[in-house]
Amino acid sequence: MPALGDRLQAVTFDAAGTLFGLRDPVGSVYAAAARAHGLPARDGLEDLLERRFREVFPALAPPRYRPGDRAGNDAEDRAWWRRLVLRVMDGLGPLAFDAFFDEIWRSFAEPSAWQKYPEIDALLQGLRRSGLRLAIVSNFDARLVPVCRGLGLEPRVDTVVFAAEVGAAKPRAGIFHEAVARLGVAPANTLHVGDSFAEDVAGARAAGLRAVYLQRDQADHRPMGDPEHPTIRDLRALTALIHGEVPGRAPPA
């Protein structure tokens, strides 16, 4: 079997969960802001909000974008997050919600809310030295740009592509095709890496790209890891995988 990197010209990456993660849990951030805006203190609030967020986030219908309507798409992103946060906070007690939401929205636009995974800088530097074009392709909203800039990621890649500016979110092909067009490469010569199988692996392959599934969560046992979309536990394995030095292994059942 040829190496995953044969005729490879570019690598694209998902953002949150792939290149960087939250510094503090969502529940802790929400709880601190809620207490500052009138919610009475209660035991276990952080854990409760974390559980609610994890339940609501995947259940909420995704934002509806329109190609060519960047301002409208940005507004849709903010409205989507407002709906999500309303559901998370529903019934918990008195809260100055508008001020609370404004603080939450701003806080996650701050690079200090996020941290790069430790292998990222060396990985991106090595890939660029090998002549590969690099991009970030994410369903994150417009806050992605200041976050990537503040984390030092923006100068390490050739372009940052996010759903609202394109008018299409992963797994739709449009966002992947926009990325490869900016990079000046063909989809077939591009590898996408991300931590969502549906959005990053299935979406990329349907758009004509190669794909690697990043499964950082050791407790995540969703079946993955065939030769067409190998699985890795962190990005330290990616360079060797590209050169065919190690297989991408599925997690144990």
* 1 — pLDDT class (breaks 50, 70, 90): very low
Query: Which residues contact residue 204 at a Cβ distance below 8 angstroms, ignoring those fewer than 6 apart?
Result: 12, 170, 171, 176, 192, 194, 210, 211
One DSSP character per residue, 17-60 reads: TTTEEESS-HHHHHHHHHHHTTPPP-TTHHHHHHHHHHHHHHHS
The distance in angstroms from the start CA to the end CA of the chain is 25
- Asked if residues 167 and 69 have their Cβ atoms less than 8 Å apart, the reply is yes
DSSP designation for 169: -
In 3D space, the residue among 123, 116, 121, 115 whose CA is nearest the CA of residue 237 turns out to be 123
For residue 248, pLDDT over 80 is answered with no
253/78 Cα distance (integer angstroms):
39
Torsion of CA 226, 116, 58, 213, to 10 degrees: -10
pLDDT at position 251 is 38
State pLDDT tens for residues 42-54: 999 999 999 999 9
Mean of pLDDT values over 48-65 = 97
Residue 253 confidence (pLDDT) = 32
pLDDT at 245: 61
**Alpha-carbon torsion (163, 168, 172, 176), positive or negative:** negative
Burial class of 198 by CB neighbour count within 10 A (0 to 12, 13 to 18, 19+)? exposed
pLDDT score of 154: 97
- Band (pLDDT 50/70/90 cuts) for residue 249 is very low
Residue range 200-245, pLDDT digits in tens: 999 999 999 999 999 987 655 455 545 567 899 999 999 999 987 6
Per residue in 94-145, pLDDT (tens digit) is 999 999 999 999 999 999 999 999 999 999 999 999 999 999 999 999 999 9
Cα–Cα nearest to 242, from 122, 97, 132, 121: 132
CB 26 within 8 A of CB 46: no
> Is the CA virtual torsion 101, 102, 106, 107 positive or negative?
negative
Tokens representing residue 121 in the block: 């800088």
